[in-house]
Amino acid sequence: MSSFTRAAIAALALANVAVSYPFADDVSLESPANVMSTFNIKTPRPIQFGNAAFTCQILSLAFPKSDVISPGSTEYTPLWQVPWSQSCWLQPACIVAPDTDSDISKAMILISVLKTKFAVRSGGHTVVPGYSGVGNDGILIALHKLNKLSMSKDAKTLTVGPGQRWGAVYEMTNQYNVTVLGGREPPVGVGGLLLGGGLSLFYNTYGLSFNRVKRYSVVIPSGRILDATATQNSDLFHGLKGGTANYGIVTEFDIETISNGNAIYYEIYLYAPSDTPAILEAFSNWTINADIKSNVEVQIQNKITLVFLGYAEPANKPATFNDFYKVTPIKTMFGPTNASVISLTNSPAASRPPPGFSYSSVFSHEVRDSKFLLEQYALYLNLSANLPDDMTMSFNPQAVIPNLVKESNTRNGGNILNLSPVPQMWVNAVMDWKNNSESSIGSDRIDAFTAQATKLAQDRGVFLPYIYVNDASGKQKPLRSYGDASFKYIQKIANKYDPAGVMQNLQNNGYLLSRE
């Protein structure tokens, strides 16, 4: 590469213009000396591969001091403690926090060519250790500075960076009287939710959140910055609708807004445990017969059951909820309410405090009646008994109606999840606790619930293979759950855009092909 080319690249980077560096798609073939020269780095000798401390030294030469955070700095501890669950608190060798896709590109190239372990973090709301962090043998790429948030003039497209959180997104969309399909809790990060599918407040009405994504900006390991749309790099675009972190780092999303989606109706009630079977009866009936504008969420703990009844437009006690109205709550958190999305997401009911430590798992089954759901509830009561005082086990069956499948399969090119078009539950079991010494109790109980409930579903003939990524445990294999054709498609796209296997072999986090 000529000195003129290197100077031009440097000038563009300083001007905050997106740059694709001229390296081979298989960046492992590049000479480290050539790469360092491109970035005007005076390379320490000898070059060390796979050494996180050495790579941190190189990153500190390549980036401003404020973008590389090392142990001992005042910013270091708050940044590695960002994840919502302490189960994911890991202390990396250093943290690199770029604020442009060009700098993400540079970081990816340097980390790749030096063969150093890394992790990528958007909001850090996962509960799987190592999936949004890495220990002192690796580099954490933190995306919180990639926080772009802008609306198109016609208010039909929102452009957002992966470092944003859904609370801020809803603040903006509310100003335009539109909404987007984002997280149900304001602290959830944009990037992880959209790569995993995304269950919004009205997922059954509009489909999964990622099916409203019209464009991804992706940095692949070679450093190239690609736009992926239905017409440009369309194979990558389709692969990102379920392929998670197997291709590169997404640095920007264009999301289709919903023009009439900001005016909604909702009710939230609390019920006594003795009424939970009746609630599950009503929930099963609703799942089979649901009005597609409605959504219901049921969250069960030993001492309380919470029910959210939502309607995607202004209403007054919709008839689709009549079975729920037959059960008397012990507390009304919100009575019949017509308001905006932000009125709900900003309420205390929409946010949970950090749990301490957490463990989560999920499986899917068809809903034909209430019998199997009630069997699961009995299993939950058995496994949640006799826990230490600081542990709380939750049973969260998430209803998915055929309309979600229809919307998700047709909107913006569909996806690769291979969902069955039947009424179903994505059953999420979660354990929260405060004392780290109890971690094995938490994971063992949740794994036992999922394994036993899965076996029951198979015996009853209602088992469905799909595993929802955003609720899965690190032991589960969600990519395999899409079926052989989709799994091979992810492999094909990963091999095309990451022939060196950087995302598979160096990445510490995510549901990766190499782990399934």
Is 396 in contact with 176 (CB distance < 8 Å)?
Answer: no
Cα 151 to the center of its chain, rounded Å = 22
Query: Could you identify the residue written with the tokens 């029910």?
Result: 307
Give the pLDDT of residue 270.
Answer: 98
Task: Write the pLDDT tens digit of every residue in 110-139.
Answer: 999 999 999 999 998 888 988 899 999 999
Query: Which element (helix H / strand E) includes 336?
Result: strand 331-340
Question: What average pLDDT score do residues 382-408 get?
Answer: 97
Task: Write the pLDDT tens digit of every residue in 10-33.
Answer: 333 333 334 456 566 666 677 888
Task: Write the pLDDT tens digit of every residue in 450-490.
Answer: 999 999 999 999 999 999 999 999 999 999 999 999 999 99
- Kindly report whether the peptide bond that precedes residue 162 is cis, defined as omega within 30 degrees of 0: no
Question: What average pLDDT score do residues 289-311 get?
Answer: 98
Give the Å distances, CA to CA, from 252 to 8, 94, 162, 277, 446: 24, 24, 6, 44, 35
Tell me 411's DSSP state.
G
Task: Write the pLDDT tens digit of every residue in 411-447.
Answer: 998 999 999 999 999 999 999 999 888 889 999 999 9
Nearest to 94 by CA among 46, 133, 49: 133
Nearest to 442 by CA among 372, 356, 510: 356
Beta strands in 29-78 (DSSP E): 68-69
Contacts of 484 (CB under 8 A, 6+ apart): none
Tell me 91's DSSP state.
-
HSE-up of residue 236 (Cα within 13 Å, Cβ side): 25
Where residue 4 falls among pLDDT bands split at 50, 70, 90?
Answer: very low
Helical pair 101-113 and 3-14, crossing angle rounded to 10 deg:
130
Contacts of 4 (CB under 8 A, 6+ apart): none
Give the pLDDT of residue 129.
Answer: 86
Q: Give the span between the Cα atoms of 473 and 265, in whole angstroms.
A: 33
3-state secondary structure of 400: strand
What residue ranges define each of the domains in the chain, with the CATH number in brackets?
A: 3-142 (3.30.43.10), 149-260+481-499 (3.30.465.10), 263-478 (3.40.462.20)
